Each structure stands twice: as structure tokens, then as C-alpha cells.
Amino acid sequence: MFPLIRNRRLRSSESIRRLVRETIVTPDDFLVPLFVVEGKDIKEEIPSMPNYFRMSLDNLEKETKELWQMGLCAVLLFVKVPDNLKDNKGTEALNPDGLMQRAIKTVKNACPEMLIMTDVALDPYSSYGHDGIVAEGQILNDETSEVLAEMSVSHAQAGADFVTPSDMMDGRILTIREALEDEGFQNTGIMSYSAKYASAFYGPFRDALDSAPVDIANVPKDKKTYQMDFANRFEAIRETQMDIDEGADVVMVKPGLAYLDIVREIKNEVDVPVAVYQVSGEYAMLKAAAEKGWLDHDSVMLEQLIAIKRAGANIIASYFAKDFIRILG
Ligand code: PBG
């Protein structure tokens, strides 16, 4: 007896494979993270993120135009704040002329159609490297949410299209939504980092922004009291559902690759767009292995991006966006 059904028929040539392929990644899927620094004519490579850069506003302008020309349509902004401007309350985050606020305007001027999302959390502004205000060894929840709401309004005033709270305080989506409504920003969206795990994959990002928690007495050494325990699954659904109920337009799972089970589960559970953040450590791992000649960079990159999309991502925040466009040719 021969097999009647031969699945290999659908794999027998590239043309049939193209015809039946279930998942494709396109430039429309990407959200491009960008790191901004003070200064002029600065484009410095981040040591643990080969070929990824911190840039001053003049280079941010050039980069924005280049990304748009390449077919990319959305950026996610982060700033590296000088030490002398950091404090426990992240006061500088509210400066209407702060680096983030100027970065938003720079992108808007360079390319009015480019969608601008901004990171909302205190860590780059915090002298302790935490996403919230520290008091007596704790990260204060409600006080932090109030600052995040003011920060969101400030980003909206500067021209941000979406604010993206990445802090994991309870109730902050509602606090932010109400503040945006009160100030007349009913069209400013919220992409919530809703299932964000306490992950060691964020290491290179904290190098990039000099934002790691500091090692001093009475300051928590890690972010485990607010970011999620990576052993948990049900909690991710609860967090995500609550953020939607509080007004999140888009939800996110972070990191990516090691959490694709969570992505699929959330995708099956909710009806808002789901973003996935392929984080700095994931980028660093592939760059390092490729540099050693141990993995083929482009093939592994594509496999990973397809896997993220296949798991259910509608949006992929990724440092590989430009590399992906390059292989499209
Ligand atoms: C800040 C923030 C972090 C990342 C995005 N926003 C770091 C952290 O939570 O410590 C990580 C992104 C990456 O690793 O690429 N709240």
C-alpha cells in the first residue's frame, strides 16, 4: 500500500510552497525602537547590540526619513537621560522641553506620517534605575501611576500618537486614559506592555540607556515586584484583560521568542491587536552567534520573525526591522 495523502506534494517546489504559505512578515508589521541621546552628530554603537545605535536628534531626523523610505511606518522612542537630570521621581520626564519631547517633535517634523509611539516608564529618568518611585525598599504603585499619566500627557502634547507604558504598575492604564481624556487627547492611543515578564533578556537595553537598577541599600535589586514571574501563564491573561478593560488599544507580550506560548494564548483570548517585543537580548544572541559563524544570521532572523507572527503577533517591535528590509532586497 502507498500513502494516498502525501503532504510532501505541498512542499515539492518553491512555487507551491509560496502558494500555500500561511504566514508572511511584511514591513507593515514592524515597530522600530530608537534610542535617542543629547548632543550633536552622535551615532554611537551600543556595545552589546552590534550595528544598533544611540543617536542625537540630528541623526534621529535622518534615521526617520531613511526608515520611511524603506517602507517602515512606526517608531518606538526611548531616551538616554544624563545622570545629573535623574532623580527618584523622574522629574525630568515631565520637562516640556526634555529630550523625549524634542525627539517626538523631530520625528514629526522629519516625517509627519511616521507613527510615533513613546516609552512611558521612569527607569531612564530614575536615579535608582526603577520604573517607579522608590520608598522604603518598595516601588510605589499609585504615586507612580500619577507621574506616568502626567508623562503621557506631556508626550501627547509634544505630538506622540501612542503612549506605551512599560512599567507594570497596577491600574496605570486607567489613570493614563483618564488624564489623556481630561486634557483633550481622546485620539492618543495606548499600547500597554500588558504581559511584561521580569526577564534577563533586557540586559543589553539597560546598557544602551544606562538604566539598570542600582546596587544600593534599600533599593530593590531587580524588577520582580512589578514585572511578571516568567513561570506564570494565567497571570498574563489576567493582566492583559485588565489593561483592555482599563482602555488599552493594543496589548503587548514581552519578551518574544521564549514567550510565544503566551502570545498564542492571549491572541486566542482577546480581540485587540497584540504586539510582541523581540527584545535586546534576543537581538544580541543572534548577532553574537552569527559573528562567530555559528548561525546563519538572515535565515535565523527570518525564522524567528515568522515564528513571532505565526504565534499571533499583529505588531513586532524589533531591532531587526532594517535587517529584514535588507533581505527583502
Ligand atoms: C523600560 C523598558 C525596558 C525595555 C523596554 N522598556 C527595560 C526594563 O524593563 O528593564 C526592554 C527592551 C529590550 O530589552 O529590548 N521600562
Interface confidence: ipTM more than 0.95: yes
Q: What is the pLDDT of residues 153-164, one digit of tens each?
A: 999 999 999 999
Residue range 93-109: average pLDDT? Answer: 98
282 CB near ligand 1 (under 6 Å): no
Give the distance (Å) from ligand 1 centre to CA of residue 202. 6
Report whether 36 contacts 105 (CB < 8 A).
Answer: no
Contacts of 231 (CB under 8 A, 6+ apart): none
pLDDT score of 329: 81
Which cell is 28 given?
507593515
Per-residue pLDDT band for 1 (boundaries 50, 70, 90) equals confident
Task: Report the number of secondary-structure helices (H) and strands (E) in the chain.
Answer: 11, 12
119 CB near ligand 1 (under 6 Å): yes
Cis peptide before 255 (omega within 30 of 0): yes
Residue range 322-328: average pLDDT? Answer: 96
**Could you write out the DSSP letters of every residue in 143-198?**
HHHHHHHHHHHHHHHHT-SEEEE-S--TTHHHHHHHHHHHTT-TT-EEEEEEEEB-
In ligand 1, the atom with minimum distance to the C-alpha of 278 is 15
- CATH code of the domain occupying 22-328: 3.20.20.70
| Candidate of 32, 77, 126, 166 to mutate for ligand 1, largest count of ligand atoms within 8 Å of Cβ | 166
239 marked among binding-site residues: yes
Annotated catalytic residue, options 86, 89, 254, 267: 254
Give the distance (Å) from ligand 1 centre to CA of residue 232. 19
Report whether 302 contacts 295 (CB < 8 A).
Answer: no
Please tell me the residue having the least CA distance from ligand 1 atom 2: 166
Is 62 annotated as catalytic? no
Is 40 annotated as catalytic? no
DSSP 131: S
Please tell me the residue having the least CA distance from ligand 1 atom 14: 202
Give the distance (Å) from ligand 1 centre to CA of residue 291. 24
Q: How far apart are CA 194 and CA 217, in angstroms?
A: 30
Give the domain ranges of the chain: 22-328
Q: Which residue has the cell 507621574?
A: 147
Q: What is the mean pLDDT of the chain?
A: 97
pLDDT score of 128: 96
Q: For the whole prediction, is pTM greater than 0.90?
A: yes
323 CB near ligand 1 (under 6 Å): no
